[in-house]
Amino acid sequence: MRKFDYDLFVIGAGSGGVRAARVAAGYGARVGVCESSRVGGTCVIRGCVPKKLFSYAAHFAEEFEDAAGYGWEVGETSFSWARLIANKDREIDRLNRVYLALLSDADVKLYPVHGKLLDSHQVQLGEDIVSAEKILIATGGRPWTPEISGIEHGITSDEAFYLKTLPERVIVVGGGFIACEFAGIFNGLGSGVVQVYRGEQILRGFDHDVRDTLAGEMTEKGIDIRLYTNVTELIRTTGGQITAKLDDGSELQADTVMFATGRVPNVQNLGLRAAGVHAMPGGMIPVDEYSRTNLPSVFAVGDVTSRVNLTPVALMEGHAFADSEFGGNPRPADHDFIPSAVFSHPPVATVGVTEKDAATHYGEVEIYKSEFTPMKHTLSGRREKTMMKLIVQASSDKVVGLHVVGLDAPEIVQGFAVAVKSGLTKQQFDCTTGIHPTAAEELVTMRTPTQG
């Protein structure tokens, strides 16, 4: 007679939870998982995937314009928001089915209900209680909005994916990943966009050249970025529109006000306190490099933890957890040199340190920087620049930071991230032959430091 119903029970079937469940089951573990929303998690259902589809949709407007310089006569174009939403929904339904199949093919039992910890080995699932030798919390996060008067008139990215119509005028609040991405999406699709950010420049935490370049390009595309500004109140007018009061005393009118002001972990009604799982004041669950909480039988991965909130990171953490606990291959989650991208217009991608942080971590550095018009825009006539930057540790010659703003930046940096993660030197970059003509070849042909 087995002591527990399951070897592993996972709370939350998003990227991290599903990966951990499948890998553990592949090692022969008896695995159950519960999910109160749709299987697939934020990334698939209301995050990365639909966002990127929207971003593609928004890029077409510029593609049609750019075509003229190449001899094309595109003629009159029109855009159907309803069709985009319907097609996006169909794709999300397909991916949801793929995720469901992944679980059933791996013999992971799915409970489509909310799960709540009762103690360190038991989870309440509606009327049922299941027990497990190990429990993994992978409940992810959700948007957070500031408590201002009239906040109920605003939306978050969750609702932006289901708007009935494309708003004519949008205010996007925030300067982070989601705010920059949605400002680009709405602007590309034809909405008038004001982006309101409280700080000195959007994308805090990114390299200063990335921030300045992106802000300049977004402004060039028509996005009205208001820095050092906060929305203090929202008022719904009789015509159904929204008046947003700003702390500089001015007001803006909009059809939609979207808050992209950060995310918080999903820990409500999770039973953490009753089970004795420590959580930080914002709800984040602190874990060690093996994703262990303070309880030996309870683990956590993904956005619910106090680490980096990115889908591939949750996947990596979930996989490392399953290898460690069920595969006889203990290995810590590896958070060094995580590349990331902002699917803004133009996109940003980065791996390694910023110039500002470089001195703290690597001492003296050399900076290589290049700004140029991508070849595509020689004939299109579009005034959009690409910016590339390398940060090299002087003592070792290693490339410790690589930043790109411009066409195809995420595709370019994914490849170069292998080199940076592997600790390759600037000299090794230099002796790599470029692919001509590409923008990416610039990263292996920059010879003269701009400073350092």
Which residues make up the interface to ligand NDP (CB under 6 A)?
A: 146, 174-179, 181, 197-199, 204, 230, 260-263, 309-310, 340-343
Q: Which residues are paired to 387 by β-bridges?
A: 371, 405
Residue with the closest Cβ to ligand NDP?
A: 176
State the nearest-atom distance from the C-beta of 42 to ligand NDP, in Å.
8
Extract the tokens encoding 273: 């306190």
State the nearest-atom distance from the C-beta of 267 to ligand NDP, in Å.
16
Do the beta carbons of residue 17 and residue 318 sit within 8 Å? yes
Q: Which is nearer to ligand NDP, 17 or 174 (CB)?
A: 174
Do the beta carbons of residue 17 and residue 311 sit within 8 Å? no
State the nearest-atom distance from the C-beta of 230 to ligand NDP, in Å.
6
Give the SS3 label for residue 186: helix
Distance in angstroms (rounded) separating the CA atoms of residues 416 and 391: 13
State the nearest-atom distance from the C-beta of 140 to ligand NDP, in Å.
10
Do the beta carbons of residue 19 and residue 103 sit within 8 Å? no
State the nearest-atom distance from the C-beta of 53 to ligand NDP, in Å.
13
Q: Which is nearer to ligand NDP, 209 or 366 (CB)?
A: 209
Q: Which is nearer to ligand NDP, 344 or 380 (CB)?
A: 344
CB-based contacts of 33: which residues, under 8 Å, 6+ apart? Answer: 9, 10, 11, 12, 13, 17, 18, 21, 103, 108, 109, 110, 111
Residue 244 gets the label, from left (phi > 0), alpha (psi -120 to 50) or beta, of beta
Residue tagged active-site, from 59, 278, 377, 436: 436
| Per-position DSSP letters for 307-352, written without gaps between them | S---HHHHHHHHHHHHHHHHSS-------TT--EEE--SS-EEEEE
Q: Which is nearer to ligand NDP, 18 or 179 (CB)?
A: 179
H helix intervals, 31-132 = 41-46, 48-67, 81-105
Q: Which amino acid is at 10?
A: V
State the nearest-atom distance from the C-beta of 176 to ligand NDP, in Å.
2
Query: Around 256, how many Cα atoms within 13 Å sit in the side-chain half-sphere?
Result: 26
State the nearest-atom distance from the C-beta of 287 to ligand NDP, in Å.
17
Q: Which is nearer to ligand NDP, 13 or 179 (CB)?
A: 179
- 436 catalytic per annotation: yes
Q: Which is nearer to ligand NDP, 15 or 309 (CB)?
A: 309
Q: Which is nearer to ligand NDP, 110 or 260 (CB)?
A: 260
Distance in angstroms (rounded) separating the CA atoms of residues 300 and 303: 9
Q: Looking at 331-413, which runs of residues are DSSP E strands? A: 340-342, 348-352, 365-372, 386-393, 399-405
Distance in angstroms (rounded) separating the CA atoms of residues 445 and 156: 42
Q: Which residues are catalytic?
A: 436
